[in-house]
């Protein structure tokens, strides 16, 4: 039987070398193959090697570098509305937190999302997914957190489900009800109790709970109480940790066995060491540092200490209006000290691990999902050096060519 699709004579295939997660030194290698053929059947990779493959359809790979589709394990899709006004305010030295404390920031997107129809949010989010897919992003995590009341949080989670079923990109939903406290609540505790009361209603919509653990938002103790309740109900947990100040989030992530601790810009050395010795994925979001003009997380140090490091975009309307994986990888290399190989592993196999998808996604190997980026280049290192050149020649998602 011929295969459904084959890519023949590929100039170079660059893939994480072994099943993830990869930690520390393991992250510095990619498995490189030249002049190989890939066959695809039933949405999976069915062959990688030098034998000729008979197929119904062919792609000429002779001018291409093929890498796994990018897994963006941290975005804030779905949302609507622009916060360009805040961006302008930051140019005159107002900080992200100043704007948030004055009632803007997350809360201004909450107002937009609450009043927007589900149809409008869906349409705009589908547009984001189209753009991301054309840049080679084949799996996207998205969070609620712009509803901040029962009705609107559920609205966002249902939209994430709808996005996953309508759009070819795989969409993985996370509940971030604990994103900020709005005016209608008396205290952070009261608000968190309310969000925790929703846990039973989340079954079937998501299996992961996130919190913005940050001085001035939800402190370490509040985050611990809340996430312990989530764990008791059987949810996986993750945190926005040590983003704008050292707030204890990274340590708490290790203590609770969180699947990931994200941001870590302000994490101290003790936190980095604890993370490196744990199974918790340390997710770098260098687009946020760039967009907010904040320092960059110590990616080099985390890897040297032996951590499982992932990279993602944090795409959202406030702190990082960027979803281009090529630019994010460029920042991880040029500003966080990762090598090109480490950055590619971090945006594929390790970000798949942050979503518990490491056995299906993030590698070019038989049995993995046929999600691949076809890049017009001679060598994978061009991905970083020529990040702004739109190198994407094609994207294969679930075995189908979509660009």
Query: Where does this chain bind ligand NIG (CB under 6 A)?
Result: 76, 105-106, 109, 212, 240, 243, 288, 314, 316-319
- Nearer of residues 278 and 283 to Fe ion, judged by Cβ: 283
Least Å distance, CB 43 to Fe ion, is 30
CA distance 220 to 223: 5
Least Å distance, CB 262 to Fe ion, is 6
- Nearer of residues 12 and 208 to Fe ion, judged by Cβ: 208
Residue 39's binding partner among Fe ion, ligand NIG, none (Cβ under 5 to 8 angstroms by kind) is: none
Residue 212's binding partner among ligand NIG, Fe ion, none (Cβ under 5 to 8 angstroms by kind) is: ligand NIG
CA angle 371-395-142, nearest 5°? 65
Residue 69's binding partner among ligand NIG, Fe ion, none (Cβ under 5 to 8 angstroms by kind) is: none
The DSSP annotation for 262-290 comes to EE-TT--HHHHHHHHTSSSEEEE-HHHHH
Least Å distance, CB 82 to ligand NIG, is 12
Burial readout 61-88 (b: 16 or more C-beta within 10 A, e: otherwise): beebbbbbbbbbbbbbbbbbbebeebee
Q: How far is CA 335 from CA 71, 171, 200, 294, 297, in A?
A: 21, 28, 42, 11, 9
Helices (H), 167-276: 188-197, 220-232, 249-256, 269-276
Least Å distance, CB 299 to ligand NIG, is 17
Residue 318's binding partner among ligand NIG, Fe ion, none (Cβ under 5 to 8 angstroms by kind) is: ligand NIG
Which residue minimizes CB distance to Fe ion?
314
Residue 108's binding partner among ligand NIG, Fe ion, none (Cβ under 5 to 8 angstroms by kind) is: none
Q: If 0-12 CB within 10 Å is exposed, 13-18 middle and 19+ buried, where does residue 51 land?
A: exposed
**Contact residues for 95 (Cβ-Cβ < 8 A; gap 6+):** none
Q: What value does the CA radius of gyration of the chain take, rounded to a whole number of Å?
A: 21
- Nearer of residues 15 and 139 to Fe ion, judged by Cβ: 139
Residue 251's binding partner among Fe ion, ligand NIG, none (Cβ under 5 to 8 angstroms by kind) is: none
Query: What residues make contact with Fe ion under the rule CB under 5 A?
Result: 314
Q: How far is CA 244 from CA 226, 262, 287, 398, in A?
A: 21, 12, 14, 38
- Nearer of residues 37 and 316 to Fe ion, judged by Cβ: 316
Least Å distance, CB 387 to ligand NIG, is 22
Within 13 Å and on the Cβ side, how many CA atoms surround 87?
A: 12
- Nearer of residues 106 and 253 to ligand NIG, judged by Cβ: 106
- Nearer of residues 37 and 156 to Fe ion, judged by Cβ: 156
CA distance 266 to 400: 41
Residue 371's binding partner among ligand NIG, Fe ion, none (Cβ under 5 to 8 angstroms by kind) is: none
Structure tokens at 355: 């979503």
- Nearer of residues 57 and 84 to ligand NIG, judged by Cβ: 84
Least Å distance, CB 250 to ligand NIG, is 14
Least Å distance, CB 223 to ligand NIG, is 13
């Amino acid at each position: 039987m011929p295969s459904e699709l084959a890519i023949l004579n590929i100039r170079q295939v660059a893939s994480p070398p072994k099943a993830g997660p990869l930690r520390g030194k393991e992250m510095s290698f990619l498995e490189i193959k030249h002049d190989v053929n890939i066959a695809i059947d039933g949405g999976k990779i069915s062959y990688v090697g030098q034998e000729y493959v008979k197929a119904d359809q062919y792609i000429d790979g002779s001018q291409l570098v093929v890498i796994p589709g990018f897994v963006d394990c941290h975005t804030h899709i779905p949302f609507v509305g622009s916060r360009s006004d805040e961006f302008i305010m930051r140019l005159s030295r107002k900080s992200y937190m100043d704007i948030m404390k004055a009632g803007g920031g997350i809360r201004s997107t909450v107002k937009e999302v609450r009043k927007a129809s589900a149809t409008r949010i869906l349409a705009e989010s589908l547009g984001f997914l189209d753009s991301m897919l054309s840049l080679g992003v084949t799996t996207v995590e998205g969070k609620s957190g712009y509803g901040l009341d029962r009705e609107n949080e559920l609205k966002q989670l249902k939209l994430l489900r709808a996005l996953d079923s309508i759009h070819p990109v795989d969409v993985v939903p996370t509940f971030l009800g604990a994103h900020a406290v709005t005016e209608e609540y008396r205290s952070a505790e009261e608000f968190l109790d309310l969000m925790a009361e929703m846990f039973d209603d989340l079954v079937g919509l998501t299996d992961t709970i996130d919190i913005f653990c940050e001085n001035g938002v939800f402190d370490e103790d509040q985050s611990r109480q809340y996430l312990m309740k989530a764990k008791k109900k059987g949810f996986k947990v993750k945190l926005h940790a040590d983003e704008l100040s050292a707030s204890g989030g990274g340590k708490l992530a290790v203590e609770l066995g969180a699947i990931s601790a994200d941001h870590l810009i302000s994490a101290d050395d003790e936190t980095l060491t604890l993370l490196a010795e744990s199974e918790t994925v340390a997710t770098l979001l260098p687009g946020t540092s760039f967009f907010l003009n904040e320092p960059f997380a110590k990616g080099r140090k985390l890897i040297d200490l032996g951590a499982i490091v992932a990279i993602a975009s944090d795409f959202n309307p406030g702190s990082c209006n960027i979803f281009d994986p090529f630019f994010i990888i460029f920042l991880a290399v040029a500003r966080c000290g990762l090598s090109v190989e480490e950055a590619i592993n971090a945006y594929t196999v390790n970000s798949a691990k942050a979503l518990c998808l490491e056995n299906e996604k993030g590698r070019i190997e038989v049995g993995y999902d046929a999600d691949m980026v076809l890049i017009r280049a001679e060598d994978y290192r061009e991905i970083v050096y020529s990040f702004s050149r739109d190198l994407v020649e094609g994207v294969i998602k679930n075995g189908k060519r979509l660009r």
